[in-house]
Every structure is written in structure tokens, then in C-alpha cells.
Amino acid sequence: MTKLHHNIIANLVGQVWTALLGVLFMPVYLRVMGGEAYGLVGVYISLQALWYTLDAGMATTLNRELARHDPVEMSAQSARDTVRTLECLFLPLCVLTLMAAPLIGHLISTYWLKPVNMSQSEVSYAISILALAIALQWPSSFYAGGLAGLERQISQNIIQIVFSSLRWIVVIPLLIFTDSSIETFAWWQVLIAALQTLAARAIFFYKLPIPVRHARFQRDIAFSIRHFALGILGIACVSFVLAQTDRIVLARILPLDAFGHYFLVATAAGALSRVFTPFFSALYPRYSRLVAQGNIEDLIGLYHRSNRVLAVSVSALAAIMVLYAEGILKLWTGDGFFAASNAQVFVLLVIGSALNGIMNLPYAIQLAYGCTRLSLLLNVFSIIWLVPMIWYLADRYGALGAACAWPLLNLTYVSLGIFLMHRKILKGEMMKWYVADIILPSIFSVVVVCSIGMIFPLLAQLVGDPVALPAIIFVSLLSVGGLYFLWLKWSTNS
């Protein structure tokens, strides 16, 4: 197996583990802490997404710079100076976040949330602590970006698995046997966040080559990467608004416990991203290196092969989640009424996530070429129509209305975004991407999943839904993977 395959597998393991933590333990938090406190956990995760968005310019830039110039070829001093320069630009933002934590808690509790049983002061204090945790964990994503650029993604995912487990599993007995309050949860997040950042930094610098002198801030390095870093930051900020608008609006419109229920469904649908994120993480550095080398023939071949595998994977899991939506939610939460009332929202969010997933590798190609303008303009255009539409639909139809916007947004990217991208990058490859890379592999996956699904009612009668559903899901994924592997082997030999 190649290093690229090892990185994809490591990323898949890391993402699947993180997804399992959410699937298995989020309902536990809801039961142990209560609806309002769990709603604050949802706010915390949304705020985390915002702050990770703000660092995306630096982390993605570091990833690209180290990937384009392998530190074995790049001087050890130049690699270290690049890291130190980006650190000097990024770490002051973390300090500002630490200082602003009390203000963040006050503003959110006063002007955004609608608590019923918790007091405003309790909500403000809890969010202030959670903001502190975000500020302490924030730098870890920067160092993770560096490890990804070095293609040390096994180390990156070991860090993620260890600290995700500490963050989300170990806190449960703490809540059960000491105090089930949101404050206990929040202070535990602070401790683990600090430890994760220290560990990520130590491992990242251990993997870098040893320089002849101490690393220094270099103005010429900062000057050379400024356009790309600012472009990534702009894309990330606008993407955050697009991805989180439904939650921001619903947190304002719905009671806090109802928002917690929506967030639970969104967490389940978001598990699909655990499939496509590993592909982006492993392939973006490799795309960047091939672009820097001018090896366009290998780049095109890798682009199409990786998109086909991604399309098969995403469409298979999405088809399963749509076909068995109510059963999955019921099996997960143990609440039949919750599952029945939220299945439609779940289906819409899954479809949107699937469309978003197949856009990940085209986006990685754009970044490998240093092209940020197209995605930024497309996102800004989307905000103009999406935000007012979400507000109208959410106000009129609640969670179901807000969920409708997510597939519409990503359908715009798949249609308009791909058309515009292939006019500038990898010209002449657009129709091959649509037909050979996306449509045919997706049809294959959906047909296999639906065919196997025909035996589900019979199996459910024999052994019951709790046994039949996991069995059908396992057999469906195994069948899709096995048949696709056989087809690849046959097509290669022929």
C-alpha cells in the first residue's frame, strides 16, 4: 500500500471514530444533562466550527506550503521559518479569544438564546467557559494542518482519536457520579483542550527537520502567502455562515430544548462528512505536490480515480441513511416519537451533506492551484439568496423549513460551481467528472443498496428492527465495496 492509501485509511479511522463518539454518546448527554444544557453543547460545537473556520486560512496555508515543498527538499530552516511566521500571525488571535470569552458568553446568552429553566447568568457563565475551551483547543487545528502537509496523517489521527475519546467519553462518568451540570462539562473541555494543543504542537515540531538556528518570523514568507491565506479565510468565513445559518436562525426562533433536538438530528446527518473528509485531508497535499511539480497527467488521473471512489462511498452511505432514516434515528435515540417527527429533517440534511461531499475533491483541486476567488465569489453569491430564504422558511415551517436550504445550496455548487471551475482548471474534464466520476458510480451504489433493502421487511419480521437494521446496513456497505472492487479489478485487467 502507498503512503496515500495509508493516509486515507488513517483519516477514515479517525473520522469514523469521531462519528461513533457522536452517534453513541450525544443521546447520553441529552438524557444526563437535560434538553437545555444539551442545547448549550450544540452552541459550543457551532462556536467551535466558527473558530476553526477563522483559523482555516493559516492551517490550510501551512498544509499547502509544506506539501508543495517537501521538507526533505525544502531546507530545514525554511520549513521552520514558515511555521514560525504563520504561528506569529495566528497565535495572537487565540489570545484575543481568551480575553473575549466573558463577553462572548454575555452576548450569546442575552441576544441569541432563549432559555426557559436556566437563568441568563448560568447560560452566560457556561458559554464563557466553553469559549475558553475553544480558544485553548484552537491552535491544535493549526498544528494538525502542518502534520497533514507533511503527510504525517497517522500521527494526526492518533492525536484526534485519543483526545476525542477523553473529551467525549471520560466526561460521562464525571457527569453521572459528580455533577451533571453544564459547568462540569465545560471545565472538562477546558482541560482536554489545553492538553490536546500541547500534544499536537510537540508532535508536529518533532516531525519537522532540525534547523541550523532558531526559527524566525520572515516578512517575505508572510508577504508571499498573503493572497492565498486571505482567500482561504474569506471562503471559510462565508462557508461557516452558509453551513451554520440554519442553526443560528433556529436557536433564535425555537426554544433551547427544541433547538437541542434539531442539533441532535443535524449531528446524525453530519456523520456523512466523516466519509468524505478523509479523502480531502489525504488528497489535498498530494494534489498540491503534483501541481507544484507540473505533473498534470498524473494529477488528472488521480483526480478522476479519487472522485469515483468518493462518489461510491458517499452515495452508498447516503442512500442507506435516506432509506432507513426513521429506523436509524429510533435505533440511535431509543425514542420512536422523536424518530418519526424528525425523519424528514434528517433526510433533507443527509441529501445536502452528500452533495456537499462530492464537491470536496474539486475544491481541493482549486486550492492546490492556489485558486480561491471562484469559491469565495460563489459563496458570497449564495449568501445573498440563502440567508433570507432560511429565515423565511424557518420562521414559517420551523426545523423542516430550515433543513430545505441545505440541499438547495449544495445543488448550486454541484451545478454552477463545477461548470465554472472546469472553465479555468483541468479544462475539458467536466463531463467526465459528471458522468464517469459521479453519476454512474452513484447510480451503482444506490441500486445495490435499494436491491438489498428489499429483503429488510422480511428480515425485520424474523429478528426485529434492532438486529435487522444494523445487519442490512453492514451487508449493503459490504456489497457496494465488494462489487465495486471486483469491477475495478475487471476493468483494469481488461
How far, in Å, CA of 492 to CA of 43, rounded? Answer: 49
Output the DSSP codes for 56-98. HHHHHHHHHHHHHS-TTTS-HHHHHHHHHHHHHHHHHHHHHHH
The CB-side HSE value for 222 (13 A sphere, CA atoms) comes to 11
| Per-residue model confidence (pLDDT) at position 494 | 47
- The whole-chain average pLDDT of the chain stands at 82
How far, in Å, CA of 321 to CA of 343, rounded? Answer: 10
pLDDT, one tens digit per residue, over 95-148 is: 887 788 788 778 877 777 767 778 888 888 888 898 888 888 888 888 988 888
pLDDT surpasses 90 at 162: yes
CB contact burial 177-202 (16+ within 10 A = b; e otherwise): eeebbbebbbbbbbebbbbbbebbbe
Looking at mean pLDDT, say which of 22-36, 111-125, 180-194, 260-274 comes out highest. Answer: 180-194
pLDDT, one tens digit per residue, over 452-486 is: 888 777 776 666 667 777 777 777 777 777 766 76
H/E run at residue 343: helix 336-357
Beta-strand ranges (E) seen in 260-315 are none
pLDDT, one tens digit per residue, over 243-292 is: 777 777 787 777 777 777 888 888 888 888 877 888 888 888 889 889 98
H/E run at residue 453: helix 440-453
CB contact set of 174 (below 8 Å; sequence gap of 6+) = 184, 188
**Helices and strands: H and E segment counts in the chain:** 21, 0
Closest by Cα among 2, 26, 467, 51 to 263: 26
Q: Are 330 and 342 in contact (CB under 8 A)?
A: no
pLDDT surpasses 80 at 421: yes
Cell numbers for 265? 438530528
How far, in Å, CA of 105 to CA of 126, rounded? Answer: 7
Q: Are 238 and 391 in contact (CB under 8 A)?
A: no
Model pTM above 0.85: no
What size, in residues, is the chain?
A: 494
Q: Are 414 and 360 in contact (CB under 8 A)?
A: no
Output the DSSP codes for 465-494. HHHHHHHHHHHHHHHHHHHHHHHHHHHHH-
Mean predicted confidence (pLDDT) in 13-36: 78
